[in-house]
Amino acid sequence: MRAEVALPILVPLLFGALSLIAWRSNLMQRVLGIIGSVTLLICSIWLLMSVLDQGHVVMYMGGWMAPYGITLVADLLSAIMVVLTGMMAVAIAIYSLSSASPSHEKFGYYPLMHLLLAGVAGSFLTGDIFNLYVWFEVMLIASFALLILGGERAQMEGAIKYVTLNLLSSAIFLSAIGLLYGLVGTLNMADIAVKLSQTEHTGLVDVIAVMFMIAFGIKAAAFPLFFWLPASYHTGPVAVSALFAGLLTKVGVYALFRVFTLIFNQSPEFTHQLLLWGAAFTMLTGVLGAAAQFEFRRILSFHIVSQIGYMLLGLALFTPLALVGGVFYIMHHIIVKTNLFLISGIVHRLLGTYDLKQLGGVYKDRPYLSILFLIPALSLAGLPPLSGFFAKFIIIRAGIEAEAWVVTAIALIVGLLTLYSMIKIWAEVFWKPLPENHSTVDSNPSTKPSSLAFLYIPVVLLGACTLFIGLNGQPIYEIAEASAKQLLNPALYIEAVLGETP
Amino acid sequence: MEPIMAIVTGCLYASAIYMMLRRSIVKLVIGLMLLSNAANLLIFTSAGMTRGAPPLIPLGAMQPDGVIADPLPQALILTAIVIAFGVLSFAVVLIHRAYNIIHTDNLDEMKDTDT
Amino acid sequence: MMKPGTLILHVAARFLVPLQLVFSIFLLLRGHNEPGGGFIAGLVASGAFALYLFTFGAAVTRDLMRVDPRNLIGIGLLIAMISALPAWFHGQAFLTSQWWPILLPGGTEIKLSTPLFFDIGVYVTVLGSVMTMLVALTETEER
């Protein structure tokens, strides 16, 4: 049996349960955190290998055949996402060795982290639309609890917005599932795709499609319902914000990719057009919001929103090249964004604040950290030869080929404004001298070198990944291309799940 | 039966949205509760309402006798209720702690993280 | 501070809690072939402890439960997880039911199975998570 498709879900759940039992011992939890995330990474690479080797990997949980039981399906996109999840898990687990405070660990930091990873992996791998909802909720509950670790005022305010908007999105998602089930009478995504292509295309299908779009759009922080993200992501502990920034919104993006290539592909002139404008406004509002900010993590949060726009643009153009770009962008973005948040955490550890106006002089004191920042920052802005350049290049080229001039122009302008934001951070945090009235916290015992090393290791590793994608993009591009091919040919997915082509 | 259920569902959605737009966090949570109930009722109604026996196969038989209700929407609703229960109990704990820290339940006074 | 329970509540709780716990076990095992099961049984059991909690307070309930509710979540999850694995060794998909009929001396047959263990896991997890929440809330009130 193909166990590799279920292991990325089972492994974090198992380690979550173990570290919940070991909650009295912080050391045990840390060890379990490292072992668990490394195991997850190994399992996910195994999954990617076998998907590359043999195409879709399918497992019918409990031996109940599709469309009756819950099916786990891994195509290339899911496998890529799971591998990225594993990479982020390892990075955050190492980072947490130094960044997590003992009180957070007592409160269940590691079990919640494992639960979150299980939810994320489950969302990527499930082939059942209701099961997707369940994994979304697993992920959300874990993320709610992680976000308020520490219990400061800003966290509470941020969490209330986060919880409300996400519950609203879940309710819309659930309503859409109900209507869809009433229409086609099945929950298996492949089966829904078959049934939906056979039923008459009525207005109700479009209504359901838009409901899914709104539900996933909220989760992905797309225009117009993205306000919860910049209001909440900068409030949590930094390792948590980094994990959220890298993975959580991308689950929404993944769900959009899955649903709008597999199920709702009948009327792209309506749905994908809507997505296109959503993507354009997402890019623009995100980057303009960032331009007005002077707090390290808030700038980065707004940039998540604007980058989500690029990924959606890849989906909305719906040409083979654009989908390649979208997938490539997701891969590049998860690594880069997590890395930037981790760096903001290091700066905070060194100088005790996230406020750009009170920061400064990091380049003078720690030139290596500055270079580590420049790699993801310039990659985010899309400068060659880093990973972001190729991601943006593919998408913009796809936009020009599809003759979507306005949106392509917006994408280019947003790239420029991203560069502006990154330069702003560079100038304020790294270049300008430290403001005189600033009291350094260098005497803080927690900044001793051994504890800082754990903060640097993941940053260096992720920076290396960015460089690798940039300098050796060909294999990554080929994987993205193969997965875009699979996305554009849903018959493969349906055949893998249901057995034969109907 | 369906028209009545449709009206009930609509009223639930409407009152949920109304409650969520109020300024108090307690009312916000009540709105969220109503919203999840509305979604559950929607699944129940749109999946088709049949008057039938519970979908259990008697001992020894290979198939149920007579008309049975579709078990799947019920399973979905049950799952959704459980999830809503978990999430909302979290939300209640959250507003309780938030109230202890912020000392207000007025959403208008929670704008520190907005700008 | 929680009001101390009244006499009626005290007496009733002493009688009802064991009854409810036994009933929850009944529901758990009945879930095998008939309505019932781990989730609802776990809720009934946590109902029992909740009644005890409201009557006697958090500290006494913790003593009664002996195990920390948070540990219960972990143990329950672990049991449920382990029940998913045996199918793997038989080369089947995860969670596929495995049955081990055991013939008792009296001639009756007991069917042990992975769904039973899964249900027990669910039972313990539900009990643990509801109690974690209730105890935490009560303790913040009592403070």
- List CB contacts (< 8 A) between A146 and chain B: none
Contacts 24+ apart (CB under 8 A), C49-52: C49/C17, C49/C127, C49/C131, C49/C134, C50/C130, C50/C131, C50/C134, C51/C13, C51/C16, C51/C17, C51/C20, C52/C13, C52/C17
What ipTM describes this predicted complex?
0.93
Cβ proximity of A168 and B84 under 8 Å: no
A277 CB-near residues (< 8 Å, 6+ apart):
none
Q: Check residue A450 and give its pLDDT.
A: 66
Three-class DSSP category at A334: helix
pLDDT over 80 at A8, yes or no: yes
Cis check: omega of the bond before A67, within 30 degrees of 0: yes
| Dihedral angle sign, alpha carbons of residues B38, A168, B75, A182 | positive
pLDDT in tens, A92-124: 999 998 887 888 887 888 999 999 999 999 999
Cis check: omega of the bond before A367, within 30 degrees of 0: no
The average pLDDT across A357-365 equals 83
Q: CB distance A144–B94 less than 8 Å?
A: yes
SS3 content of chain C, % helix, strand, coil (to 5): 70, 5, 25
pLDDT in tens, B6-38: 999 999 999 999 999 988 888 999 999 999 999
First-residue to last-residue Cα distance in chain A: 25
Distance from CA of C103 to the nearest CA of A (A): 26
Q: CB distance A17–C97 less than 8 Å?
A: no
- List CB contacts (< 8 A) between C86 and chain A: none
Q: What is the DSSP letter of A373?
A: H
Which residue from A399, A404, A374, A398 is spatially nearest to A386, judged by alpha carbons? A374
In total, the C-beta contacts within 8 angstroms joining chain B to chain C are 13
Q: CB distance C137–B93 less than 8 Å?
A: yes
- List CB contacts (< 8 A) between C77 and chain A: 13, 16-17, 20
Which residue from A354, A378, A231 is spatially nearest to A294, judged by alpha carbons? A354
Length of chain B: 115
CATH number reported for the structural domain that contains residue B24 in this entry: 1.10.287
- The amino acid that residue A268 corresponds to is P
Number of H helices, E strands in chain C: 6, 2
Q: Check residue B114 and give its pLDDT.
A: 67
Which residue from A47, A152, A24, A38 is spatially nearest to A458, judged by alpha carbons? A38
Q: Which of A2-11, A476-485, B32-41 has the lowest mean pLDDT?
A: A2-11
Q: How confident is the model at residue A210 (pLDDT cuts 50, 70, 90)?
A: very high
The average pLDDT across B48-76 equals 79
Residues of A near C (Cβ–Cβ under 8 Å) read 1, 3, 6, 10, 13-14, 16-23, 59-63, 108, 111
Q: CB distance from B38 to chain A under 8 Å?
A: yes
- List CB contacts (< 8 A) between A14 and chain C: 78, 81
Q: CB distance from B43 to chain A under 8 Å?
A: yes
DSSP H helices, A263-404, are 268-291, 296-317, 320-351, 362-365, 367-381, 387-401
Domain annotation covers residue B104 = yes
Q: CB distance from A163 to chain B under 8 Å?
A: yes
SS3 content of chain A, % helix, strand, coil (to 5): 80, 5, 20
**Helix A249-262 × helix A268-291 angle, to 10°:** 160
Closest chain C residue to the Cα of B96, Cα to Cα = C137
B5/A158 Cα distance (integer angstroms): 36
Q: Check residue A437 and give its pLDDT.
A: 67
A457/A464 Cα distance (integer angstroms): 11
Residues of B near C (Cβ–Cβ under 8 Å) read 54, 56, 59, 82, 86, 89, 93, 96, 100
Q: Show the tokens assigned to C4.
A: 């101390």
The residue ranking higher by pLDDT, A464 or A452, is A464
B55/B33 Cα distance (integer angstroms): 29
Q: CB distance A60–C93 less than 8 Å?
A: yes
Above pLDDT 90, what percent of chain A?
43
- List CB contacts (< 8 A) between A17 and chain C: 74-75, 77-78, 81
Distance from CA of C19 to the nearest CA of B (A): 25
The average pLDDT across A319-336 equals 92
In total, the C-beta contacts within 8 angstroms joining chain A to chain C are 56
Above pLDDT 70, what percent of chain A?
96
* Cβ-nearest to B101 among A134, A156, A163: A156
DSSP letter for each residue of C16-52: HHHHHHHHHHHHHHHTTTSS--HHHHHHHHHHHHHHH
A290/A300 Cα distance (integer angstroms): 7
DSSP letter for each residue of B6-32: HHHHHHHHHHHHHHHTSSBHHHHHHHH
Q: Check residue A502 and give its pLDDT.
A: 44
Domain annotation covers residue B64 = no
* Cβ-nearest to B98 among A160, A179, A234: A160
Q: Check residue A445 and give its pLDDT.
A: 46
In degrees, rounded to 5, the angle at the alpha carbon of residue C13 between the alpha carbons of residues C7 and C15 is: 110
Distance from CA of A180 to the nearest CA of B (A): 9
- List CB contacts (< 8 A) between C127 and chain B: none
A452/A97 Cα distance (integer angstroms): 10
Q: Check residue C1 and give its pLDDT.
A: 41
DSSP letter for each residue of A14-49: HHHHHHHHTTT-HHHHHHHHHHHHHHHHHHHHHHHH
Cβ proximity of C48 and C16 under 8 Å: yes
* Cβ-nearest to B42 among A161, A175, A235: A175
Cβ proximity of C51 and C20 under 8 Å: yes
Domain annotation covers residue B113 = no
Mean pLDDT by runs of 10 across the 143 residues of chain C is: 69 90 91 80 92 86 85 90 83 80 77 86 91 83 68
Domain annotation covers residue B80 = yes
Owner of token pair 């390290």: A296
Q: Check residue B50 and give its pLDDT.
A: 76
Give the domain range for residue B94.
2-49+72-108
Three-class DSSP category at B94: helix
Q: Check residue A139 and give its pLDDT.
A: 92
Domain annotation covers residue B34 = yes
- List CB contacts (< 8 A) between B89 and chain C: 133
pLDDT in tens, A119-176: 999 999 998 999 999 999 999 989 988 988 877 888 888 888 899 999 999 999 999 9
Exposure b/e, B31-64, CB count within 10 A at least 16 = b: bbbbbbbbbbbbbbbbbeeeeeeeeeeeeeeeee
Domain annotation covers residue B98 = yes
- List CB contacts (< 8 A) between B78 and chain A: none
Closest chain C residue to the Cα of A17, Cα to Cα = C74
The average pLDDT across A61-88 equals 88
DSSP letter for each residue of C58-104: HHHHHHHH-S-HHHHHHHHHHHHHHHHSHHHHTTS-TT---EEEEE-
**Dihedrals phi, psi of C27, to nearest 5 degrees:** -60, -40
The separation between CA B73 and the C-alpha centre of its own chain, rounded to angstroms, equals 14
Domain annotation covers residue B102 = yes
DSSP H helices, A100-188, are 102-106, 109-125, 129-147, 153-184
| Dihedral angle sign, alpha carbons of residues A118, A481, A398, A420 | positive
Q: What is the DSSP letter of A439?
A: P
As for how many domains chain B has, the answer is 1
- List CB contacts (< 8 A) between A134 and chain B: 79, 83
A488/A71 Cα distance (integer angstroms): 21
Q: CB distance from C75 to chain A under 8 Å?
A: yes
Q: CB distance from C72 to chain A under 8 Å?
A: no
pLDDT over 50 at A25, yes or no: yes
A16/A117 Cα distance (integer angstroms): 9
Within 10 A of A279 (CB to CB), how many other CB atoms are there? 28
A155 CB-near residues (< 8 Å, 6+ apart):
A147, A148, A149, A235, A236
Length of chain C: 143
Q: Show the tokens assigned to A147.
A: 């976000």
C14 CB-near residues (< 8 Å, 6+ apart):
none
Three-class DSSP category at C33: coil
**Dihedrals phi, psi of A499, to nearest 5 degrees:** 100, -70
- The amino acid that residue A295 corresponds to is E
C42/C31 Cα distance (integer angstroms): 12
Q: Which of A74-83, A283-292, A479-488, B58-67 has the lowest mean pLDDT?
A: B58-67
Mean model confidence pLDDT for chain A: 88
The average pLDDT across A354-374 equals 85
